[in-house]
Structure 1
Amino acid sequence: MKSNFFQSVRNGLSCAAILAASTALAEPQHGIAMYGDPALPPEFVSLPYANVNAPTGGKIVTGEVGSFDSLNPHIRKGRVPWQLRFLAYESLMGRSWDEPFTLYGLLAETVETDSTNLWVEFKLRPEARFSDGSPVTAEDVIWSYETLGTEGHPRYAGTWSKIEKSEITGEGKIRFTFKEPDRELALIMGMRPILKKAQWDGATFEDSGLDTIPISSAPYVIEDFEAGRFVSLKRNPDYWGRDVPFRRGTNNIDELRMEFYGDATAMFEAFKAGELNTLRETSTAKWAQQYDFPRVRNGEVIKSEIPHQRPTGMDGFVMNTRRDIFKDWRVREAMLQAFNYEFISEKLNGKDGPPRIASYFHNSVLGMEEGPATGKVAALLEPFKDQLLPGTIEGYALPESNGSARNRSGIREATRLLEEAGWVVKDGVLTGTDGQPFVFDILLKQGSAEHQSIVSIYKEHLERLGIFPTITVIDSAQYRARTDAYDFDMTHFIRGLSLSPGNEQMAYWGSDGVTEEGSRNLMGMNSPAAEAMIQTMLTSSSQEDYRAAVKALDRILTAGRYAVPLWYSNVSMLAHDANLKFSDKLPVYGDWIGFQPDVWWSE
């Protein structure tokens, strides 16, 4: 789909004229949405899921498995507590987790962009201050973006490479001009951490770790730490932005403390003993069976289940289509048929286990609908119908078994598909036309006990087809090196997806990742149709068109049969001390970044 910008150029309108026209039409706003207008008006009091009357005080103590050797989350070196990027730093705009992709002014008082999506301009709040009391300036903003984009963590480089020019256009005003139109980029540019330029005069930014903690403007500052053991952040009593609408009713807790443990068992025991006062659980079986300890029974600890409407993403076992054995979709479908999900889930999760992931954007308004594609989704897929796999347009659903251990119907269908693809059983071994057996390896990371249990059962099912896979378990460093080089046949992977998918989708599914090492495209998919849907998402002028493109992408991914999906939870499971509270009004994202601890309080 061509953008209005390219259509105008094609029709002979000069870029200068376009820029002049868009500048005249642009107006500063209190917020910005990917599509349409922000839900909250300019005079809004607070985020809808924040409690403006919440008391302040208390502390939240969380646990993490692992260690750390750096407190600068913005550089390439070191292991950093992941929460610091969100707790200890601020950006020009703040995200509302009650809307798919909407930002409201934080350090920036207003945001302004043009109708052709070629630039964005922010105006700083004059009262914005760093934790040392010095003002946040336009120079700090420019320096932060350039330094992060050129010397910082790789996650910042891709965005910075799309910027043609950054400039100060007035008192407290910063404008970023893009190399090409990009609707999402205007929002992304509002979400980068702002650091103090003067702190780094004569210092080397990329080598900082524990010795130099970046100064920021956030409500919390790092007060104490012991490398590898704990980090303590305290609420800044002189925080500049307590009356900014985006901040009202948030950051109510006085101390945020992170304790680090060698393994999950030790962390769970610490929570049971009261050393931690909040813990997220991801296993529904453990939630049902192991959270009946004394502190739960006497009411000191509450089990909260927080629903959400965000996409499931994908959690499962991905097949590497760079390998010859997985190039044929019929073979991949056979792998799905052989995976006796109902039996495995009941064995590991109990009879009333969690639901299964049905597609990549399942559980959300962006997920593909049952049955044949219709309307705009069908129209988007139509030009690619000759190259799309069966089920993409007609409709595709994962195979289901009757829950018995034998899974006769699944094994029978898998056998048929494998024979159709040229594989037959000889002397009990599935064999190709070249006489070679069907063999592959399932690569797993150390510490993945649940995944090892799953593949052990799966292996038994595959053996009924004459397939005898090996299972290799290696440490994290080896695992990262091998998956970066795509040196695996099948492995576990998780791909989190949001209600506002955008540029990152090309990194997940784009053809560049087929050969370029280190990409997120583990399955090695090469689909012009998928890339076309992503481009349509990025250039759509309405939410209706955008959603149609995502639904079409979901169909392409799911019918591609690249992964064997596992289960998901449509609620977050948080056990916490009874004195820790949150509002009855929950954001659409549920328990997500910016929920705990941002809008919690202690009574």
Structure 2
Amino acid sequence: MGRFNPIAALGAGILALLTTAAPAIGATVSHGLAMHGDLKYGPGFTHFDYARPEAPKGGDVRLAAVGTYDTLNPFTLKGVSASGLGRLFDTLTIRSDDEAFSEYGLLAETIEIPEDRSWVAYTLRPEARFHDGSPVTPEDVIFSFNTLKEKGHPFYRAYYGSVARAEKVGDRKVKFTFDAGENRELALIIGQLPVLSRADWEGKDFAATTLKAPLGSGPYEVAASDPGRSITYRRVADYWGGDLPVNRGRDNFDTIRVDYYRDATVALEAFKAGEYDFRLENTAKNWATAYDVPPVNEGFIKLEEIPNEQPTGMQAFVYNTRRELFSDPRVREALAYAFDFEWTNKNLFYGAYTRTRSYFSNSELAARGLPSPGELKVLEPYRGKVPEAVFTTAYEPPASDGSGNIRGNLRKATELLRQTGWEIRGRQLVDSATGRPFSFEILLVNPAFERVVLPFVRNLERLGIEARVRTVDTTQYQNRLNDFDFDMIVDVFGQSLSPGNEQRDFWSCEAARTPGSRNTAGVCDPVVDALVEKVISATDRQELIDRTRALDRVLQWGFYVIPNWHTRVYRVAYWDKFSRPAVTPRYDLGFGFWWVDPDKAAALTAKRGK
């Protein structure tokens, strides 16, 4: 899901709250809310540490996207939405990028919550306005919640599934009541609610695609749209929230134009030709070989590796376990032996990557070694319902020496396949009972990934398996994902430092049955469902760690994916027209806090004009 940019600050918050409705007995009223522990930024903070509040506004920025778009409604399953639409919509709160999970008020002036977190109430800022000048009201908030939950993308139904109701309880105050049970994250989840204008949507089909931009209250509005080619955002000059502490130093560009390219190779060449300004490089081969060009050598283009502490989650080859072919975990385990990461990393990635082994990689939430006493306490009730290896063995994906000789791994794969009723006849792997050949399709959307998949396919051929690679356009790919119409894909399960309700959309049985959910693997296991609920109901940080690691172990030993790789730096390339704060946030790149430096931009124009 795309990020929305909310905001935070207080001031005379409690006084403002008293003018609408008195706080409930036993509830606290604050300018922000932390998942566990205390807030880093107190009521009087003036800006985030990773912002430069005096950063100049101005300048035009060009970015790139690959594929196409056909709608400006990012909230539904229909169509492919344009990149960057989150810039239009403010949320009740905004997350800080140097804390594990804390939010501060954006549209909300104050946040009221009881000790048991059974409900949360947000009091809106009186100055909050939509782009047409109309005030943001409790009715808009309630409309947004109900509409997204009932008519929006299936993600919202899962994400807001435990929110019982929303109601107006004051002139500027909205209260959300939660279902019974421990779910500390719900108050923060509701804070991420993008608030839409009820009046703007009146009489319109919310589920339909549209090329008219919905009315927003955020820092940008759509200035121009050429579907499938480009979209341009213009900074709102009189943006109501521009001087809030959470927004100081943010959203500095006057315009942001996103140009669309048919594939990643064309997009890379366009960047080097100066067709756009900033690029986050995700391909190791490109980073190693594609930037030895005059603009880089002459200093026009800057290359940087910026370290981060962002959890990397899981990128992987994902089985669609709804397919009978992949219903047996031993089959899924077997095929993993045909992927030679060490050879791939050495020969295709220039040694740039680390093998991923956890669904919560690069964080303290990743399972490691044998289960700790805290993890065992979580797992013991499920002994006999999960593989015994969950308790006895640390999961490691198959490895090689990088030489390309993986005969030993292929022998292990063959034995596992034999145990599940597959045998070699001639040079083909077939079902011993029916004679049906082992054949499947790997569906891709990025042609650049073919060079990674084809060596994997050749190793599968050595097992007698026919794996076909098919690369399709963005629209077809998204439609097939929504319908779970694939055998295997490459997918990414992004994670945060505070996993919670979104895990239902990744792993639950309900999500497995819901078209458009993020449960692309089709995971449906009562134990996984139970562990997801335990993660959601964790009451403190250590409990969250233990429960998340327990979930990680059960997923690992379910062999739902073949883990790929990750890196712990942002690789960025940009034309030398930007400056950025001295401090980079721990858990994000922070590009929204960069600015066009007038002196650098003028010098670059002069140099390129020669």
Task: Say which is worse superposed, 578-587 or 105-114, in terms of deviation.
Answer: 578-587
Q: Count residues with an aligned counterpart.
A: 574
Tell me the CA shift for residue 77 of structure 1: 4.4
State TM-score, norm by structure 2: 0.87
Tell me the CA shift for residue 208 of structure 1: 7.1
Tell me the CA shift for residue 299 of structure 1: 1.2
Tell me the CA shift for residue 149 of structure 1: 3.3
Q: Identify which of 462, 465, 470 aligns with 2:463.
A: 465
Provide the residue aligned with 1:37 in structure 2.
38
Provide the residue aligned with 1:235 in structure 2.
235
Q: Identify which of 588, 591, 598 aligns with 1:590.
A: 588
Identity of matched residues, %: 38
1:119–1:414 Cα change, 3 Å: same
Distance 2:518 2:250 in 1: 34
Counterparts of 1:137-148 in structure 2, within 5 Å, are: 137-148=137-148
Provide the residue aligned with 1:602 in structure 2.
597
Distance 1:498 1:363 in 2: 10
Q: Identify which of 477, 495, 498 aligns with 1:497.
A: 495
Provide the residue aligned with 1:9 in structure 2.
none
Provide the residue aligned with 2:309 in structure 1.
309
Distance 1:567 1:218 in 2: 35
1:464–1:253 Cα change, 3 Å: same
Conserved? CA contact 1:140–1:195, under 8 Å = yes
Tell me the CA shift for residue 566 of structure 1: 1.6
Tell me the CA shift for residue 437 of structure 1: 5.4
Tell me the CA shift for residue 183 of structure 1: 2.0
1:261–1:118 Cα change, 3 Å: same
1:521–1:165 Cα change, 3 Å: closer
| One-letter amino acid of the counterpart of residue 406, structure 2 | N
Provide the residue aligned with 1:252 in structure 2.
252
Provide the residue aligned with 2:450 in structure 1.
452
Distance 1:297 1:416 in 2: 53
Task: Say which is worse superposed, 104-113 or 48-57, in terms of deviation.
Answer: 48-57
1:76–1:46 Cα change, 3 Å: same
Distance 1:133 1:482 in 2: 41
State TM-score, norm by structure 1: 0.88
CA-based RMSD: 2.6
Distance 2:204 2:63 in 1: 33
Provide the residue aligned with 2:5 in structure 1.
none
Provide the residue aligned with 1:550 in structure 2.
548
Counterparts of 1:175-254 in structure 2, within 5 Å, are: 175-181=175-181, 182-201=183-202, 205-206=206-207, 209-211=210-212, 213-254=213-254
Tell me the CA shift for residue 349 of structure 1: 1.7
Distance 1:141 1:253 in 2: 28
SS at the partner of 1:392?
A: helix
Conserved? CA contact 2:443–2:487, under 8 Å = no
Task: Say which is worse superposed, 475-484 or 189-198, in terms of deviation.
Answer: 475-484
Conserved? CA contact 2:447–2:471, under 8 Å = no
Conserved? CA contact 1:510–1:527, under 8 Å = yes
Deviations 1:222-276 (A, max 9, x none): 2233333332222222222222111112122222221222332332232212221
Distance 1:180 1:317 in 2: 37
SS at the partner of 1:257?
A: strand
Conserved? CA contact 2:83–2:258, under 8 Å = no
Counterparts of 1:176-575 in structure 2, within 5 Å, are: 176-181=176-181, 182-201=183-202, 205-206=206-207, 209-211=210-212, 213-350=213-350, 352-369=351-368, 371-394=369-392, 395-434=394-433, 436=435, 439-445=438-444, 447-476=445-474, 478-480=476-478, 482-575=480-573
1:247–1:270 Cα change, 3 Å: same
Deviations 1:16-66 (A, max 9, x none): xxxxxx941111111011222222111112112111232222222101123
1:599–1:426 Cα change, 3 Å: same
Are 1:64 and 2:65 counterparts? Answer: yes
Task: Say which is worse superposed, 555-564 or 126-135, in terms of deviation.
Answer: 126-135
Distance 1:318 1:511 in 2: 17
1:198–1:417 Cα change, 3 Å: closer
Conserved? CA contact 1:381–1:529, under 8 Å = no
1:523–1:79 Cα change, 3 Å: closer
| One-letter amino acid of the counterpart of residue 449, structure 2 | H
Conserved? CA contact 1:253–1:602, under 8 Å = no
1:415–1:155 Cα change, 3 Å: closer
The answer for unaligned runs of 5 or more in structure 2 is 1-22, 599-610
Task: Say which is worse superposed, 101-110 or 385-394, in terms of deviation.
Answer: 385-394
